[in-house]
A and B are shown apart, each in its own frame.
Chain A
Amino acid sequence: MSDQVVPAAQAALAAEHAAVYGYGVVGGQLTGEKKAQARAALAAHRARRDQLVRTVQGLKAKPAAAAAAYRLPFAVTDQASAVRLAARLETRVADVYGDLIVASGGALRASAAAALREAALRAVQWTGTSTAFPGITL
């Protein structure tokens, strides 16, 4: 089995960079309780991003850098589209952590599994709907 842990960790890091960017956009369209929810999610993604930077460094690789800007999958112009983007971000982040679980073992896998659960839980909080197999795309 080839060792995919570095590319998978880099992909997770890139996903966290994107989520941090995306929540900046999301937060701008929200108010009140939802804005607080977005702020908490942003803090969580920053923490995971920083953790992954250390992980990648620990694997003797150069951590993936954030892009200056990202293309959004749809225009975010109001609360509904902001919530939709937040849910999309979390779903995709969960998928990337699913890949990292497959590629890793030990403490890194445990951390990726916890991150997958956090992202999937936030997706549920945004959408109000459950998913049977978050982090697995068939």
Chain B
Amino acid sequence: MHHVVHRRAVLSAAAGLAGAAGLVSAAGCSSAPRKRRPQAAADVSPSAEAGVKRRGAAAAEALVARYDATLRAHPPVRAAVAPLRAEAARHAKAFGGRVPAATASVSASASASASASPPAGGGTRPAVPADPKAALRALASQAQSASDARLADVGPAGPQLARLTASVAASWAGHAELLGKAAQ
């Protein structure tokens, strides 16, 4: 795993510093044996790992369901919401979850037909505010809460799942930002 911290530099140091290796050369990469440090990645129990995955999948599925409900109720928000919905579906899959296929372009009769279709994620259909801007604000708020919960869940995960969990938390913070902007 030594390569992981060496494969990129934010900016390369100007010529003269440590040659072409650039910035990360300063990190050094001694392969001398080290004793376990308290801040190093610890061993993870399989059940803890499974719990992080399950919670991540459930949160992503719930977010997709909320995005879908909002898209059904407010077709004009599609340009803002559909790309985020697609990302949340990728998040659900990355955690081993499942989401329904994205709905096709919403027609004028969408809200009528949508009410007859089963709710995404198998749960109760999320309530969507009648006002489109309020609906976007509600989505932003859910994305932010979901982001906070993922961020708080990186501890029990193994190294790769911890990075995935933090990444999804970061992505959802971006969702909240963009949805908030779209609501203005």
Taking beta carbons and an 8 Å cutoff, which residues of A are in contact with B? Answer: 1-8, 10-11, 13-15, 17-19, 21-22, 55, 58-59, 64-65, 67-73, 89, 92-99, 101-110, 112-114, 116-117, 119-121, 123-125, 128, 130-137
Q: Closest residue to A72 on the B side, CB-wise?
A: B11
Q: Is the CB of B23 within 8 A of A15?
A: yes
CA distance A7 to B32 in the complex (A): 12
Query: A11-B5, A65-B26, A99-B4 known; A114 and B151 CB under 8 Å?
Result: yes
In order of increasing CB-CB distance, the 3 nearest A-B pairs are: A10-B27, A120-B170, A113-B166
A109 CB to nearest B CB, Å = 6
- Contact assessment for A130 and B166 in the assembled complex, using a CB-CB cutoff below 8 Å: no
A-B interface contact total, Cβ < 8 Å: 214
Cβ contact within 8 Å between A4 and B4: yes
A137 to B58 Cα, complex, angstroms: 24
Q: Which of the residues A3, A14, A113, A131 comes within 8 Å of B26, measured between beta carbons?
A: A14
- A8-B27, A10-B28, A136-B163 are known contacts; what are 6 more A-B pairs with Cβ within 8 Å? A22-B10, A67-B26, A71-B12, A89-B10, A92-B9, A134-B171
Stretch at the interface among B13-21, B105-113, B116-124: B13-21
Interface-forming stretch among B47-55, B129-137, B153-161? B153-161
The answer to whether B26 touches A64, judged by C-beta atoms less than 8 angstroms apart, is yes
Contacts of A117 in B (CB 8 A): 147, 151, 166, 169-170, 173
Interface centre among A14, A92, A125, A134 (most CB of B within 10 A): A14
B4–A102 CB distance below 8 A: yes
> Given the complex, which residues of B lie within 8 Å of A19, measured CB to CB?
10
A135 near B167: Cβ-Cβ < 8 Å: yes
CA A64 – CA B25 in complex, angstroms? 9
